[in-house]
Structure 1
Amino acid sequence: MNPLVDLSGKRGLVVGIANDSSIAAGCAEAFSRCGARLAATYLNEKSRTYVEPVAKALGVEWLAPCDVRQPGELEALFERVRTEWGGLDFLLHSIAFAPRDDLHGRVVDSSAEGFALAMDVSCHSFLRMAKLAEPLMIDGGCLLCVTFYGSERVVENYNLMGPVKAALESATRYVAAELGPKGVRAHAISPGPIATRAASGIERFDELLERAAATAPAGQLVDIADVGALAAFLVSDAARRITGTIIPVDGGQHLMA
């Protein structure tokens, strides 16, 4: 299969592979197919069981633990990037979390602790990664994160993650503006609903999938390969003059009321 773009020699860190059906796995597959060198993370020893086979199949050079809630673990990850590679060309942030009770309840009922934790893991961690990646992107680079249109419109049962993703999108714009002078670009990719393990935490997600397929002009759902194709383009030199965008890959669903 021909590569989408040429990423030969580029070094990329993929944060958020959960299994072979996760969005991060689809992006990693595209990066690998285009010639990139990859490193990836796993949340803990239990999740490593699912991540390792995916990483091996994609030729990932090394794996490291990354739980952004654990003090020092994120810093240790980027120190390993420095010692292993001496630099970094692109990063994918594809992690999100909210406590179950807060996620399944009304936004106005969310606890201060749950809201803060959701913001820390799902949004502020991207800012932390941007700061740690900045000195490693000596010749510029690209930072990607993953959002959802529930940031712009009220999506039934998306609840607390709506405000959190809105904050992530705003953070992406500020990262692009602040790191742009150093040649570092930033984007938030906004896929339509995809049946992943993370999405299974959203109540009645199957109904959301059905509505998306019925309303999208393309008439069908996107998959992780569609997201990966966009991600590969964005981190490539072909997109070197594009930054600060929130890009939907949803078959046109975002156009519809």
Structure 2
Amino acid sequence: MSNLLDGKTIVVMGVANKRSIAWGCAKSLMDNGAKVIITYQNERLRRQLDKLVPEGTEMIECDVAEDANVEKTFQDIQAKFGNIDGVIHAIAYADKETLEGGVIDVKKDGYNLAQDVSAYSLISVSRYASRVMNPQGSIATLTYMGSTRAIPSYNMMGVAKAALEANVRYLASDLGPKKIRVNAISAGAIKTLAVTGIKNHGDLLKESEARTVDGEAVDIHQVGDVATFLMSNLSSGVTGDLIYADKGVHLLA
């Protein structure tokens, strides 16, 4: 797949550290010739990324909690780099109390926060990114099969991911006339910062690995290669879809 993305500019949102699925995506995109622009939430995360990303990698601040921030981010990106060709949306969040409790105990504020950051943010990002995106552009988000199954301890994140996947379908319909594709990658359970916030995450990781078809867990680079496919012209006929990158775990669940 070398140089599959030559000439393309892709924005990657959600890199936290070297274990992030978003980093696996960014690395694969870079390896395949894309110019990658990484967004970060705040200066604390920027300092962490400075130690991770290759020298010269473009980074720009974006807190998706406010639409105005997202709009300004993509306006600034266009002003500095021109139109973009794709976005990887790898953003999700719920507070500790909401993550640790069952859905029956979720409070309204916790519910709204999880939906806002994990699901609504894709709508906001797609709205403003599409305004500065070239035809044949591509948007991809990250999800998990807890959206359709009651995975132990996944709880409110499963509800948010279900909303996220519905957003993908409607956004794909809305942006189709602009020749922009929208898809989701359902990644297997991987030991990331996000997963460690889930109660009993060790059990989840072990069970997921045991259910892969080859007995080995999927890794961030394999998920990243799926993202590269979705950002490339090879996926021009794929939109509104969900592609599993979990080594078959969803087949056996």
TM-score (norm 1): 0.95
2:8 to 10, 13, 34: 10
Correspondence for 2:137: 141
Task: Output aligned runs, 1:15-94, within 5 Å.
Answer: 15-56=13-54, 59-60=56-57, 62-70=58-66, 72-94=68-90
Please state how far the C-alpha of 1:129 moved relative to its aligned partner. 0.6
Query: 2 CA distance for matches of 1:75 and 1:13?
Result: 14
Checking the alignment, whether the CA contact within 8 Å between 2:136 and 2:233 is kept in structure 1 is: no
2:182 alignment partner, one of 186, 192, 204: 186
1:74-223 matches, within 5 Å, as 74-223=70-219
> What SS is found at the alignment partner of 2:30?
helix
TM-score under structure 2 length normalisation: 0.96
Q: What do residues 184-203 of structure 1 show as CA deviations (whole Å, max 9, x unaligned)?
A: 00111011100011111001
**SS in structure 1 of the partner of residue 151 of structure 2:** coil
CA distance in 2, matches of 1:162, 1:70: 23
**Code of the aligned partner of 2:49:** V
Q: Distance in 1 between matches of 2:138 and 2:51?
A: 26
Which range moves more in the overlay, 30-39 or 209-218? Answer: 209-218
- Residues in 2 aligned to 1:150 and 1:231: alpha-carbon distance in whole angstroms: 20
Aligned counterpart for 1:245 among listed residues 241, 244, 252: 241
Deviation at 1:69, TM superposition (A): 1.8
Write out per-residue CA displacement over residues 153-192 of structure 1, whole angstroms, 9 at most, x where no aligned residue: 0100001001100000010011111111111001110111
Residue 121 of structure 1, CA deviation: 0.5
Does the 8 A contact of 1:25 with 1:54 survive in 2?
no
Count residues in correspondence. 253
Instruction: Give, in angstroms, the shift of residue 70 of structure 1.
Output: 4.4
**Two-structure CA RMSD over aligned residues (Å):** 1.3
Offset, 1:54: 2.2
Provide the rounded CA distance (Å) in 2 between the counterparts of 1:72 and 1:250: 35
Cα distance in 1 for residues equivalent to 2:104 and 2:150: 13
> SS where residue 241 of structure 1 aligns?
coil
Query: Which residue of the partner structure matches residue 224 of structure 1?
Result: 220
SS at match of 1:123: helix
* Alpha-carbon contact 1:127-1:175 (below 8 Å) kept: yes
- The runs of 5 or more residues in structure 2 that have no matched partner are none
- For structure 1, the residue ranges without an aligned partner over 5 or more in a row are none
3-state SS of 1:31 partner = helix
Listed one character per residue, the Cα deviations across residues 187-231 of structure 1 (whole Å, up to 9, x for unaligned) are 110111000111110011111111111122121100000001100
8 A contact 2:67–2:124 mirrored in 1: no
The one-letter amino acid paired with 2:44 is K
In the alignment, is the contact (CA less than 8 A) between 2:11 and 2:86 conserved in 1?
Answer: yes
CA contact (8 A) 1:40 1:55 kept: no
Aligned residue type for 1:115: Y
Letter paired with 1:189: I
Is the partner of 2:92 in helix, strand or coil?
Answer: coil
Report the Cα distance in structure 2 between the residues aligned to 1:253 and 1:71, rounded to whole angstroms.
Answer: 36
